[in-house]
Amino acid sequence: MKIKLYVFLAIILISQNQVAQVLLNANGPGDTYELINAVLAPGYNVVEAPDCSHTEFGRHIDEVFDNELNINVFRFLIHTIPNNDRCINLDRQRNEIKTYDKSPDNLLGVSGEKVIYKWKFKLPTGFQSSSSFTHIHQLKSVGGLLESMPMYTLTTRKGSPDKLQLRYAETSTQITLKETDLTPFIGTWVEVTETIEYGLNGTYKIDIQKVSDGTLMFSYLNNSIVNWRADASFVRPKWGIYRSLNNPLNLRDETLLFANFSIEELVTLSVKEIELLQKNVIIYPNPSNQNVFFTNNSLYPINSIEIFDYLGSVVKVLQPESNRIIDISNLTSGIYFVVFKNNQINVGVQKLVIN
């Protein structure tokens, strides 16, 4: 019976975050920003381009046909002069797309979720890296004291030879998890598959393959790594080029190509995780035929409560009262499951029996 309970709780928790894959594919010249925004944040703006510093040039992301892939692709352009970072920071340049707080929930990573990010990119022949940083992909947490520091970064760095680096920061200090010679990536279409489980005991895996023949060019795996930060609301991906202007003479105008962006959100819950969720919040009296109280033993404040019946249907959604009372007066006798949440994070879950 206990196993059946775990299975049912897992079904309820996973059903709140159904597997969802979102694709962003170029569809031909024109209205590129509109296409990107329509997919990553409908009605809002996810493009961080240097257009304001280079108005006579116009938009710095467009779409072109690529003969090698035989599809339309996104073209990201950056100019050493006069581009900067959105007319805010003059010592760096940014031309990126992202998800953010206006994006749909299934495009934002939260604790307990497993997300697979996929995309293709091509660095141009003659590509020049900054000796400081030239980021082409980031996973950044939003909220908390560490939000300015990317959690994961795929960056290129000038050297002998130039390197492709995977960088990681659990807190405010970055380390290099792995690096490789950048040369094989120049002028070559590659496909990235990045899989991350968000949480304090998370996992991370990245594979980069050559599109033409599937050759594995870069790979990294860590099955026990901290992928969540205190007070974070969510983690969001970024793609494009973000580079330092500390040594502009070492740089040149660049054109990076990207294609076939994919964000696929999965939710995995083990028996251990369900047991932890059951310990986080206690409800009493249970069974009950009147109002019940709850005690929050987790680190997260609870700002919403969802009650499910035994068929997995939501029967009640309420805000927690200051006295931590849950009103069950309008519920009939039976077995229910109560899910306690902090925004998108499942904080606790309990079975409730109403007499």
Residue 298 lies in a domain: yes
Q: By the 8 A CB rule, do 248 and 259 touch?
A: no
Choose one of 237, 267, 297: the last residue of a domain.
Answer: 267
Quick one: 143 and 289 in the same domain? Answer: no
User: Is residue 220 within a helix (H) or strand (E), and if so which, with residue range?
Assistant: strand 216-225
Lowest mean pLDDT among 9-18, 30-39, 50-59, 290-299: 9-18
Choose one of 267, 283, 306: the last residue of a domain.
Answer: 267
pLDDT at residue 233 tops 90 = yes
Quick one: 283 and 255 in the same domain? Answer: no
Residues forming a β-bridge with 206: 194, 220
Choose one of 267, 294, 329: the last residue of a domain.
Answer: 267
CA distances (Å), origin 221, targets 59, 113, 133, 137, 195:
37, 17, 23, 17, 9
Per-residue confidence (pLDDT) for residue 13, from 0 to 100: 55
- How far apart (Å, rounded) are the C-alpha atoms in residues 188 and 218? 14
Lowest mean pLDDT among 29-38, 135-144, 246-255: 246-255
Quick one: 104 and 130 in the same domain? Answer: yes
pLDDT band at residue 9 using 50, 70 and 90 as cut-offs: low
Residue 163 lies in a domain: yes
User: Is residue 143 within a helix (H) or strand (E), and if so which, with residue range?
Assistant: none
Quick one: 167 and 232 in the same domain? Answer: yes
- Greatest CA span in the chain, whole angstroms? 76
Per-residue confidence (pLDDT) for residue 86, from 0 to 100: 87
Domain that holds residue 284: 271-354
Quick one: 275 and 261 in the same domain? Answer: no
75: its two tokens: 């073209």
State pLDDT tens for residues 146-161: 999 999 999 999 999 9
Residue 25 lies in a domain: no
42: its two tokens: 């409908």
Query: Other CB atoms closer than 10 Å to residue 318's CB: what's the count?
Result: 11
Quick one: 259 and 317 in the same domain? Answer: no
Residue 129 lies in a domain: yes
Taking residues 18-37, report their average pLDDT. Answer: 90
* Rg over CA atoms, the chain: 23
> What CATH number has the domain bearing residue 301?
2.60.40.3080
Quick one: 124 and 257 in the same domain? Answer: yes
Residue 225 lies in a domain: yes
Mean pLDDT of the chain: 90
